[in-house]
Chain A
Amino acid sequence: MSINKAIDEDSNQNINSRLTWEGCNVLLDINDGDRLVFARLTAASTLKIGNKKCSLQPLIGCPFGSLFQVESGKGLILTRFVPNAEGNNLEEKDVDGSKDNRALVDNNTAQSLTSEDIDEMRKQGAKGDEIVEALIANSATFEKKTLFSQEKYRVKKQKKYAPRVLLRRPFARSICEAYFKKHPDKIGFMRVDALSLLLCLGNVTSNADVLLVDMLGGIVTGAIAERLGGTGYVCNTYRGSSPYPVDITRMFNLSDEICKRIVHASLTDLNSSQTGASVSVNQEETLPVTHSGNLEEVGVSAEDGGMDITPEKVPSPIIKPCKSIKAGQKAPLEAIKLWKENGFSSLIIAAPEQDPWGIIKEVLPLLSFSAPFAIYHQYAQPLATCMHNLQIEKMAIGLQISEPWLREYQILPSRTHPHMQMSAFGGYILSGTKISSSEPVASSN
């Protein structure tokens, strides 16, 4: 058994790279999921913590998965934090039942350090960890707490005085999860398990030619492009004169090679019988996704509960327009010609405000025979009508409406149970396979 050599030759821009590079997109997980921020790493990009900004420069060239602690020196500085291999050994310690909360009185006098004291410590250059230790030492009730609540107290103070930033690779999963958590309406309430199903039922794989209607801001486009890995095409089609925005693709770490595979073509162009110069009607080459080296940041903040997609203008002239994303060019004419001759190999529709039947009856003829399709919707009824019509018109077989259900568990000694809160709805998917319309002639035998 030999190992595929290709895997060792990751270029910097490769989606599989384990290290960050200047200009790459990252997902910053602040304090264990309390806040999620998408950022582009440049020498000038910053992260706002509290009311102060700290430079993201130290994160460039670091392995994904590395942890940073915010230290206040001259301003805030992110320094590498290496956890010990022991991990959290709380579980091994005897879970002592001897302590409970009978002696705890909530009268706000347990902590003898005042905020002035803490400010003074900071001025003298105390590190976040030292402040946490001081708070514990000055807490009158800490020793009386159970081990679990001691740990809880420590984590709470650490989050406040020594916040930690975890460096993550943004992938379809983390992007979808982040949106679903804070701004589900922007992605049509599509949970990550529904997106997973959509990609599988749509048979998205390298070299596929995927016809897509993405009215969810580009989350599906990006997820498909990620799986195409710079082969095949994902062609976003649209009615009217301008393509639907695919801004979310900017949060993925898609290489130029992959971005070239994200194209768009109007339904008119795809349906027109001519395959020539007449196709190029829409001259708008300025696309909603082209942008320069500005820092794009989507703050998913637990504090304000909101997520803003506000391109933050970085005033510094130092930044060279790094890796401007070219996702969403017009489909090349040769490609359109080939699709007309051969048909697309998959069809995915994610337009939860539209009538699915209205869309599929127009785009299904563009799909190859025996090719699978998957339609996402947040309402069951329009999908039911669509499925019924597809059956009546004998356009497809293997039709199924399904709804994924996802439950997370807390796994702890003697305390294993499902999470108390869960998402009760992540969307419906109608899937099926297109069939050839020609009726067979009865065999003579």
Chain B
Amino acid sequence: MILPIDPANKLSFKRCIKDGDLVIVYERHDTMKAVKVSEDGVLQNRFGAFKHSEWIGKPFGSKVLSNKGSFVYLLAPTAELWTLVLSHRTQILYIADISFVVMYLEIVPGCSVLESGTGSGSLTTSLARAVAPTGHVYTFDFHEQRAASAREDFEKTGLSNLVTVGVRDIQGEGFPDEFCGRADSVFLDLPQPWLAIPSAGKMLKPDGILCSFSPCIEQVRRSCDALKSHFTDIRTFEVLLRTYEVRQKILERCPVNEEDSNKCPPRKRRQGSAEGSNGNECSSSPTVVIRPSGEARGHTGYLTFARLKCFV
């Protein structure tokens, strides 16, 4: 679903929504929902009732109406959209961290990647996208029910051929021996990553890369200590995203002349008041303005990367 593995499911002008498809129902940029299309299904939300039967046969990206005449858009799922709609069973990774991790771990098609914990599977989805079509992600979580839910999600998003979810306490037991020397990269998101680092080192191919995500600097310190003996190029980063607001505004332009500007008192904002220009030419045409959004995610976690030393 998420990946164009099956050519029949590939996004195209001709690819229409079918019974059984996973669609992302888009209300607004911050209100989206994943829905499985079924012939007799109905989506009920604050805009009214949407019949799935009216969606079938429409291309992805279409606007559809409710019984009350309100509309939503139906989008094809992507890893990015999935991150925004998945059910949070744990704290999840977002796009800034995800994209940086995939890039820094040098994950390309065909790679084998180990991950622990699975959590809600937000990063796992992007890892799967990066290793497809021939690679594989082996992800572990010690929480049996969480692992089962993750498995269901990968089934739903069509990634189950690329992802295997195991139930295992990686901090306590390490990764399974069968992966020894076979991983191109390892990702750790654990409360005590330093306990899993020796095992991660055994799993990696020579020159393989490890990443550990930790919200607290104390965790990072202990991880870096544990990395020193067998890893090199140990680097810690913090990556954040600043988003911007764009709108159209009428910026007042008062006369340059001092005397004139005294005659022109501060005006109340009049939206779109092009006709409201007085003799002093105090108004101007609308301009598009941009500024950073007032609030942002200020911290997610520290990303520590390291490469396995080459001893041979």
Please report A residues at the B interface, Cβ cutoff 8 Å: 1, 3-4, 6-7, 14-16, 18, 63-67, 82-83, 85-88, 91, 169, 171-173, 192-193, 195-197, 199-201, 203, 205-208, 226-232, 341-343, 345, 368-372, 380-381, 383-385, 387-388, 397-409, 411, 413, 416, 418, 428, 433-436, 438-440, 442-443, 445
- Return A252 CB to nearest CB of chain B, in Å: 10
- Return B50 CB to nearest CB of chain A, in Å: 9
Please report B residues at the A interface, Cβ cutoff 8 Å: 3-5, 7, 10-15, 26, 29, 51, 54, 58-65, 67, 69, 71, 73-76, 78-80, 95-96, 98-100, 102-104, 106, 108-112, 126, 129-130, 132-136, 138, 164, 166, 176, 178-179, 182, 184, 205-207, 217, 220-221, 224-225, 228-230, 232, 234-244, 246-248, 288-290, 292, 302, 304, 307-312
- Return A85 CB to nearest CB of chain B, in Å: 6
B184–A16 CB distance below 8 A: yes
A345–B11 CB distance below 8 A: yes
B99–A67 CB distance below 8 A: no
- 5 A-B pairs with the lowest CB-CB distances in the bound complex, closest first: A229-B109, A65-B207, A369-B61, A370-B61, A370-B60
B109–A388 CB distance below 8 A: no
- Contact status of A16 and B108, CB under 8 A, knowing A196-B99, A440-B65: yes
Residues from chain A with Cβ under 8 Å of B236 in the complex:
408-409, 411
B80–A372 CB distance below 8 A: yes
A63–B206 CB distance below 8 A: yes
10 pairs across A/B with beta carbons < 8 Å?
Answer: A3-B112, A16-B111, A171-B108, A197-B99, A229-B134, A368-B12, A400-B244, A402-B241, A408-B236, A409-B237
Residues from chain A with Cβ under 8 Å of B110 in the complex:
6-7, 14-16, 229
- Return B57 CB to nearest CB of chain A, in Å: 12
A4–B135 CB distance below 8 A: yes
- Complex-state Cα separation, A15 to B14, whole angstroms: 34
Residues from chain A with Cβ under 8 Å of B232 in the complex:
83
A342–B14 CB distance below 8 A: yes
- Complex-state Cα separation, A20 to B184, whole angstroms: 16
B237–A406 CB distance below 8 A: yes
- Contact status of A192 and B166, CB under 8 A, knowing A200-B98, A403-B244, A443-B54: no
Residues from chain B with Cβ under 8 Å of A4 in the complex:
112, 134-136
One of B79, B239, B312 near A405 (C-beta < 8 A): B239
Residues from chain B with Cβ under 8 Å of A231 in the complex:
109, 133
- Return A424 CB to nearest CB of chain B, in Å: 12
| Extra contacts besides A397-B29, A435-B62 (17): CB < 8 Å | A1-B164, A1-B166, A6-B134, A85-B311, A87-B230, A171-B106, A201-B80, A230-B109, A368-B11, A369-B11, A401-B243, A404-B96, A405-B240, A407-B238, A409-B220, A436-B59, A436-B60
- Complex-state Cα separation, A308 to B267, whole angstroms: 57
- Return A197 CB to nearest CB of chain B, in Å: 5
A385–B288 CB distance below 8 A: yes
Residues from chain B with Cβ under 8 Å of A406 in the complex:
100, 237-239
Closest A residue to B133 using CB positions:
A206
One of B241, B288, B302 near A404 (C-beta < 8 A): B241
- Contact status of A436 and B12, CB under 8 A, knowing A193-B96, A195-B103, A226-B108: no
B207–A408 CB distance below 8 A: no
- Contact status of A435 and B63, CB under 8 A, knowing A384-B244, A398-B26: yes
- Complex-state Cα separation, A369 to B109, whole angstroms: 26
- Complex-state Cα separation, A18 to B184, whole angstroms: 10
- Complex-state Cα separation, A407 to B246, whole angstroms: 26
- Return A306 CB to nearest CB of chain B, in Å: 25
A436–B109 CB distance below 8 A: no
One of B78, B164, B228 near A372 (C-beta < 8 A): B78
- Return A172 CB to nearest CB of chain B, in Å: 7
